[in-house]
Structure 1
Amino acid sequence: MVPDRWPGVLDKIAQITGSAGGSLFFKAQNRTGTGISEGVAGIYQEWLADVPGRKDTWTPRLRAADGRFSRVVDLYTPDELATDPTYAGFFHPKGFGWCTGMSVSSPDGVSATLQIERRFVSGSIDDKGLALLNHLKPHLSRSIVLYARLGVQYARSVVDALETVGFATAVITRKGVIIAANAAFQNSEAWVVTGAWGRITFRNAHAQSALREMLDQVSRGDPRAWTSVISIPETEDRSAAVARLAPISGEARDVLGDDAVLMMVTPLAGTASTSPEMLRQMFNLTSAEAKLAHALAAGGSLRELAGQWNLSHETLRTQLRSVFSKTNTNRQAQLVGLLGSMPAIQRKA
Structure 2
Amino acid sequence: MEPPSQLVDDIYEAGSVPEFWPRALEKLAATVDGAGAALFAVRADGLRSVATPSMLDLLREFDALGRPEINRRTPAAVAMRHPGFITEYDVFTEEELAVDPFYAEFLRPRGYGWCAGSAIFVPGGDTIVISVEKRLNLGPVSRDHVALLDRMRPHLARAAAFSARLALDRVRSATEALGLIGLPAAVLGDRQQLLSANALFEDLIPDVVRAHRARLMLADQGADRLLADAFARSLKRAGGGVQSIPIAAQEARPAMVAHLLPVRGVANDVFSAASGLLMLTPVVAGKGPPRQLLEGLFDLSPAEARVAGGLADGSTVEQLARLQGVSSETVRGHLKAVFAKTGTHRQSELVRLLAGPWHF
Residues 101 and 231 of structure 1, relative CA distance in 2, 3 Å threshold:
same
Output the amino acid matched with 1:117: E
* % identical aligned pairs: 27
How many Å separate the matches in 1 of 2:196 and 2:127? 18
Root mean square deviation of aligned Cα? 4.7
**Partner SS for 1:124:** coil
**Partner SS for 1:229:** strand
Output the amino acid matched with 1:129: H
Matches within 5 A, 1:6-21: 6-7=21-22, 9-15=24-30, 17-19=32-34, 21=36
Answer yes or no: is 1:324 the counterpart of 2:339. Answer: yes
Q: Note the C-alpha offset of 1:184.
A: 2.6
Question: For 1:35-86, what per-residue CA distance to the aligned partner results, in whole angstroms no more than 9, with x for missing partners?
Answer: 3542542687689943999994423545444xxx44454x56xxx64698x9
**Partner SS for 1:225:** coil
Deviates more, 1:44-53 or 1:179-188: 44-53
**Partner SS for 2:354:** helix
Output the amino acid matched with 2:279: M
TM-score, reference length from structure 1:
0.68
- Tell me the matched-pair count: 328
Residues 58 and 138 of structure 1, relative CA distance in 2, 3 Å threshold:
closer
Residues 110 and 262 of structure 1, relative CA distance in 2, 3 Å threshold:
closer
Q: Does structure 2 retain, via aligned residues, the 8 Å contact 1:110–1:145?
A: no
TM-score, reference length from structure 2:
0.67
How many Å separate the matches in 2 of 1:233 and 1:48? 44
**Aligned residue number for residue 302 of structure 1:** 317
Answer yes or no: is 1:183 the counterpart of 2:202. Answer: no
**Partner SS for 1:224:** coil
Question: For 1:138-166, what per-residue CA distance to the aligned partner results, in whole angstroms no more than 9, with x for missing partners?
Answer: 54333212101111222221211111112
Matches within 5 A, 1:207-218: 207-215=223-231, 217-218=233-234
Q: Does structure 1 retain, via aligned residues, the 8 Å contact 2:287–2:313?
A: no
Answer yes or no: is 1:160 the counterpart of 2:176. Answer: yes
**Aligned residue number for residue 290 of structure 2:** 276
Question: For 1:233-277, what per-residue CA distance to the aligned partner results, in whole angstroms no more than 9, with x for missing partners?
Answer: 45678754322233557xx87754587442212243x36875325
Output the amino acid matched with 1:152: L
Question: For 1:80-136, what per-residue CA distance to the aligned partner results, in whole angstroms no more than 9, with x for missing partners?
Answer: 64698x997664444476432345456887763322234666542124533553564
Answer yes or no: is 1:149 the counterpart of 2:168. Answer: no
Structure 2: any 5+ residue segments left out of the alignment? 1-14
How many Å separate the matches in 2 of 1:132 and 1:49? 30
Output the amino acid matched with 2:170: Y
**Aligned residue number for residue 130 of structure 1:** 146
How many Å separate the matches in 1 of 2:342 and 2:308? 10
Output the amino acid matched with 1:41: L
**Aligned residue number for residue 224 of structure 1:** 240
Matches within 5 A, 1:98-113: 98-104=114-120, 112-113=128-129
How many Å separate the matches in 2 of 1:26 and 1:142? 15
Answer yes or no: is 1:262 the counterpart of 2:277. Answer: yes
Structure 1: any 5+ residue segments left out of the alignment? none
Output the amino acid matched with 1:164: L
Q: Does structure 2 retain, via aligned residues, the 8 Å contact 1:82–1:88?
A: no
Answer yes or no: is 1:114 the counterpart of 2:130. Answer: yes
How many Å separate the matches in 2 of 1:142 and 1:64? 14
How many Å separate the matches in 1 of 2:288 and 2:173? 30
Q: Does structure 1 retain, via aligned residues, the 8 Å contact 2:304–2:335?
A: yes
Residues 158 and 273 of structure 1, relative CA distance in 2, 3 Å threshold:
farther
